[in-house]
A and B are shown apart, each in its own frame.
Chain A
Amino acid sequence: MDVQVKPYGDATVVEASGDVDGSTAPVLQEQVLAVAQPGCRLLLDMTNVSYMSSAGLRVMLLLHRQISGGKGKVVIVGLNEDLQSTMSATGFLKFFTIADTLEAGKALLDQA
């Protein structure tokens, strides 16, 4: 798995590629939590992630917990159908705002 962090307008994109599982989740966690600072506006781009284990889902939830309470905003972008149904069935999905594309995600960040 590979993680790239780059700006997208006034937001930050964290782009993961590959499988997020028990061995790679710590890498994603380190990179994501590093940019999840107060006032952050994050787009977590999962377009190139085909599989995420429960460890990967927990990274997302940690991210949510770190920025919830108005400390920051995140939109998850490009979840494939299988990941969405897994996250829905396990209850993780309802913690998050999701979008299909970076552009749509940015628009959601800009709302309110």
Chain B
Amino acid sequence: MQHISLYRRWRPQTFEEVIGQSHITKTLANAIRYNQLSHAFIFCGPRGTGKTSTARILAKSINCEQGPTPNACNQCQSCIQISNGTCLDVIEIDAASNRGIDEIRALRDKIHFSPATVRTKVYIIDEVHMLTTEAFNALLKILEEPPSHVIFVLATTEPNKVLPTIMSRCQRFDFNPISVDVIMRKLRLVAQKEELEIPEDALRLVARHAAGSLRDAEGALEQMASFSGKRITVEDVQTVLGVVDVALLFEAGDLFIEKDAAEALFLVNRLFESGRDLRQFTRELLEHLRILMIIQNVDDPRSILDCSQEEMERYRAQASLLRDGEVQRFLHLFGETYREMRWDSNPRLLLELAMVKAMKVDADDSREALLARLEALESMIEKDRGSGLLRDRPDIASRVVQQKREGREPEESLAPREPAPAHGRAGSSPGPGHAVDLASQKPISFPERPDGAYSQSETTAPTLEPTTPEGKVDITEIKKKWQAILERVREKRIPTHALLLEGSPLDFRNGELTIEFDSIFHIHKEKVEKGEHKRIVEAALAEMTGEAIRIKCVIAAPSSPKPQVESIYQHQETDEESGGKARDETRERATKEVEKETREEEKGDSPKSLKNSVDPIELIKARFKAKVVQKIDLKDEEKLWK
């Protein structure tokens, strides 16, 4: 006996069995019930969504001996004949093979004969988009006013190729791709009837692989059945369908976070040597990145993505460690690579190149990469402004950024830790319970102070001491850390940073920080005080101070002058006045000296007068501007921007 494919064996035979298209089956059933059936339909939709099946069921419903009824009996002569495709009056035409005007003329000649065995002749014209223009036009007149004993059902996957004049003469039904859940339900049923044993995870893999097409899903299930027999495992599915192991994708994602080009190359070659299809890997990597991008941008990603809770958690963890811009860059990069793989015979090289470019922004000359480099530059300058310490040390700056990213999770960066070893995770906070401020995150090797304040033998990363008494957070401390907080916000989300820049901390009590905005920045204020921005600011505050802090935004009274962002130096003085710990003082003096030193060696042209001015921000700005001008000059000389 001939083996019949699952998708043919389990072709739906009644409207109820057509899954995922209730908007269509209900309409048709009701039209039959109330005898309001149109004479021409066009079914549009992607492969495997039930177009041909619905057309046949429609033919049966109309012609069933019990009917016309929405529930064809599937037992009478005509139902059986239609199911078998032997009914003389239900004519299925393959428009793709019979696409010329002659075929349509033949059809037109025969159409006026009354049906031989049943009530209504049904013409099912499948793949109708392949008819030639002449054929389409020849069809127009019959389609508009067919004899009363004729119904047309056209079916196509590409409605855009069907003439509008045809479309307007038909009732159009759009079949939707079927969701993973619905496919799974159907597969479960089929598996049960076929006595296949298949775990839920494997079923999900098959359903996802089908991408909305039930025929693909049932085909894959059948393929599984002939491969594994009655018991199908997840591994079998992965093998037969060539589905990439999710673990590999997460591994790649981790490498993107770590920027480890060598490991990435190892990964590609491991895949290559094991004979994996690199193009498929790239495609699934794109899908993985897409999920990360959605998570980064959508509040409730589960409404878009269908994956289990634990998967979602893993994705979320990875998404939180990548910047959005970065994910977009990867998407562009690998999308391009995926497209090129179509024409290029050397997918390994293409994937390797893409990986290197992903890890090393310098090697990528795309627009997105330039943007990323520009952003890195900006953040370096910003940091410069924040601390004055990282100037001229881009190598360190980028290391700091990376280390901070690694230690982004608040628990981790706030957790008690041993003094960091020289090359270890120098970015982490040294003492228990201390808020991490920017200064303490620098793995800079301070030159040993002559006063021996902290000549701590081997440790190049100095164990910096807290700048405030432990525990309590107060407004002075927040003000002092404001730059660092801004910086943290910037890392989280640049737009939020831009908004927050216009505000300044005013007051802090009962766990609520009041941020003041000048009246001209009322829009900034309104944005910061709600939604995502608020959440980010509060998260940054929590990370930097170690306490949960709510924020409240107010508009400054017009009369009062805009309060200056107070300088680090002023705070240090306050601290000293209030009798901070002796060690703090030493440390601060040290920091100050380092800063002074860097400032002095910086350049002679920095206006000396500004140095003692009240507002050190101005001082920094002046210096910072000078530096940027110089950099641009340099670039101009090299004509790099040409």
Q: Are A and B subunits of one complex?
A: no
Residues of chain B having any CB pair with chain A under 8 Å: none
Residues of chain A having any CB pair with chain B under 8 Å: none
